[in-house]
Structure 1
Amino acid sequence: MTVHPALQLAFNGSGIDGSLFTSITNFARDTKWLNTPVALWTNAGLGVFAVLMLMGWWNARRRDTRTMTLALATPVAVVVAFAVAEVAKKLVAEVRPCYSLPHDYFVGACPAPSDYAFPSGHTTVAAATVAALFLLDRRLSAIAAAFALLEGFTRVYVGAHYPHDVIGAALIALPLAYLASLVLGRIAVPLVARLRTGVLQPVLTATPAAHAAP
């Protein structure tokens, strides 16, 4: 997506919580033994949310059509939240901390100037998964919440985002993903009911088609 420069705020977020960011990156500097594990986790950890969504789908195969609809809506809701966050990122155009606070300690390499900071994309995915799973399976949502907190912290630890980038991502993703999942979980039930009795039956149900009632 290309946004006209006149619409971009070209925001410098260091004045909001730059001192807190520096405190966290100083902690990263003092715990260099953690740098590599955290740097690996901050990206690979997104796989945990994919696994949780898959678990939700797998469990829904043994439940009613409404539950399966929510399971299928979960990744769609995450994509919706991520897409909105990406639009916000282009509009706000907040420069990354490595450009605003170049003397701080950074675990990761500094991204391109056009790769903006607000909101955190990783945290958006994490928080959106929490919200979408809440309607499907509270236990899975609670697990996702714990990992989402870790994901948000690692984004600041490696120096990729300010704390407000992480908080802002959560504030955007949680309601958007919840509402998207709620709406899809209602309007898509008839479609999923038909799919559960068709060629996708083995994927969408673990019971005979006659038992997959809406």
Structure 2
Amino acid sequence: MTGPGLLAFDGRPVDGGLYLRVVRWAQHLPSPWQEAVAAFSAYGLGLLAALMLAAWWRARRLGGEAMARALTAPFCVALAFAGDTLLKDVLREPRPCRVLPAAPTLEACPGAGDWALPSNHTVIVFAGAAVLWLVDRRIGALALLLAAGMGVSRVAVGVHYPHDVLLGALVGTAAGYGLGRLAGRGGGLVERARGGALERWLGA
């Protein structure tokens, strides 16, 4: 437990002013645009799942390494998320919407103890994008665009500083790329499985 005054990191001096400018810009968007930004920020991870499915379909025509990476992409993302959660508990940066005059934000401010740094959403989507880049460059490029949009949206809805997103992008990319490269070593197993009962799922 962390008591009052024992916070490990205060993000306000880093880019609190930029955070407020972005949030106030978002607050002046037309209502339909605000709803779209909030919906994308909350549910955009579903698009990553769709891209993972597309990568699996594409990998059926590719080599064993690509299929191994496509199959393990969700697990790579889960491991990146787990590492991010541990890092959050070390840094313990409070959400900017709890310490800066940003209300009303487009997304409800998380409660005390739900730390900000790094951004979970950003870690997840950049980790997924890094793995998908190793499977198929076109799908990976779409995933990177999704990741960039997700990062911006997390600031716009008011729940993260820009530096939360930047660190999330770095952590997610490093974890996803490293784990994706490691997953490619399972290509031999995939090739052997393609000749058995799983052929229809692993090959075109």
Q: Which amino acid in 1 is paired with 2:45? A: L
Task: Give a deviation string over 1:105-153, Cα, whole Å, max 9, x none.
Answer: 4111121112111111111111112211121111111111111111111
Equivalent residues of 2:66, 2:187 under 8 A apart: no
Residue in 2 that maps onto 1:152:
151
Q: Distance in 2 between matches of 1:90 and 1:153?
A: 23
Q: Distance in 1 between matches of 2:134 and 2:92?
A: 33
Identity value in percent: 40
The question of 1:84 aligning with 2:83 is answered: yes
Q: Which amino acid in 2 is paired with 1:196? A: R
Unaligned segments of structure 1, at least 5 residues: 207-214
Aligned CA RMSD, in angstroms, stands at: 1.8
The question of 1:10 aligning with 2:5 is answered: no
Shift of 1:73: 2.7
Unaligned segments of structure 2, at least 5 residues: none
Matched residue of 2:107: which SS? coil
| Structure 2 counterparts to residues 115-194 of structure 1, below 5 A | 115-186=114-185, 188-194=186-192
Which moves more between the two structures, 33-42 or 16-25? 33-42
Task: Give a deviation string over 1:7-54, Cα, whole Å, max 9, x none.
Answer: x85322111100000000110121142211111111221111111111
Which moves more between the two structures, 85-94 or 195-204? 195-204
Which moves more between the two structures, 54-63 or 65-74? 65-74
Q: Distance in 2 between matches of 1:98 and 1:155?
A: 12
Matched residue of 2:110: which SS? coil
| Structure 2 counterparts to residues 98-113 of structure 1, below 5 A | 98-113=97-112
Which moves more between the two structures, 15-24 or 190-199? 190-199
Shift of 1:5: 4.4
Q: Distance in 2 between matches of 1:18 and 1:84?
A: 25
Q: Distance in 2 between matches of 1:99 and 1:50?
A: 31
Equivalent residues of 1:12, 1:100 under 8 A apart: no
Q: Which amino acid in 1 is paired with 2:53? A: L
Task: Give a deviation string over 1:166-200, Cα, whole Å, max 9, x none.
Answer: 000011111111011101101x2232233323332
Q: Distance in 2 between matches of 1:185 and 1:78?
A: 15
Residue in 1 that maps onto 2:71:
72
Compute the TM-score of the two structures, normalised by the length of structure 1: 0.87
Q: 1:203 aligns with which of 195, 198, 201?
A: 201
Q: How many residues align?
A: 201
Which moves more between the two structures, 90-99 or 62-71? 62-71
Equivalent residues of 2:23, 2:102 under 8 A apart: no
Residue in 2 that maps onto 1:23:
21
Q: Distance in 2 between matches of 1:133 and 1:55?
A: 10
Q: Distance in 2 between matches of 1:41 and 1:65?
A: 34
Q: Distance in 2 between matches of 1:28 and 1:107?
A: 8
Cα 1:175/1:103, change in 2 over 3 Å? closer
Equivalent residues of 1:22, 1:104 under 8 A apart: no
Q: Distance in 2 between matches of 1:22 and 1:92?
A: 22
